[in-house]
Amino acid sequence: MALKNRDMEVDLKHEGSKAIIANKTNVPFGTFVKLVLERKLGNVLKNSGSEPIILSSDLLTELASAPQDSRENQTKFTLVTLGSGVLLGVFFFSLVQIILPILGITLVSKDYAVVAGVLVGLVVLIVILDRTKRRKKADKITETMERLTSLLSK
């Protein structure tokens, strides 16, 4: 028996008192979301993007009213976090530079060359981060940090 709804047609099989949609699988919503979040779905969206799915209206309403979590916001957050880490590192390094003379430890020109090298390294890091921001590699960094976070949280 084929049931027709404006945009969708499904075949129903009757098993006892239940009607089962042919060629469809019943999965818990949590499992479905886990699959979607853990997989790269570019080709799936290309091939099956117009395939209808059946959801309860309450679940669809909850999904539609959930706050949006865009990849762009996550990327900005990641870059701000990395930048803040660099700034904190510079701050603590400066603090050590202030404390060393108080403790009677003097710095020689070799030590200042190391400091200059560190600063040049920071400039290079900032340039790399800026280029990463412009490219899609920022998504890879975000995914890597998310994986590390999930590993550390277990």
Same domain, 121 and 149: yes
Same domain, 92 and 125: yes
Residue 78: other Cβ atoms inside 10 A: 21
Owner of token pair 């200059």: 116
Domain that holds residue 129: 71-153
Same domain, 122 and 89: yes
Asked if 59 and 29 count as a contact pair (C-beta separation under 8 A), the reply is yes
Per-residue pLDDT tens over the stretch 115-152: 889 889 988 887 887 776 666 666 777 777 777 777 77
The pLDDT-based confidence of 69 (bands split at 50, 70, 90) is low
The pLDDT-based confidence of 25 (bands split at 50, 70, 90) is confident
Same domain, 57 and 85: no
The pLDDT-based confidence of 33 (bands split at 50, 70, 90) is confident
Beta strand 2-5 with 8-15 is: antiparallel
Closest-CA residue to 79 (of 119, 118, 131, 39):
131
Final residue belonging to a domain, choices 43, 65, 87: 65
Q: Quick check: 1 pLDDT over 80?
A: no
Give the pLDDT mean for 34-60. 78
Same domain, 49 and 102: no
pTM here is: 0.39
C-alpha span between 36 and 31 (Å, rounded): 9
Final residue belonging to a domain, choices 65, 95, 112: 65
Count up the domains in the chain and report the number. Answer: 2
Q: Quick check: 58 pLDDT over 80?
A: yes
The confidence score (pLDDT) of residue 117 equals 92
Same domain, 80 and 138: yes
Final residue belonging to a domain, choices 65, 89, 113: 65
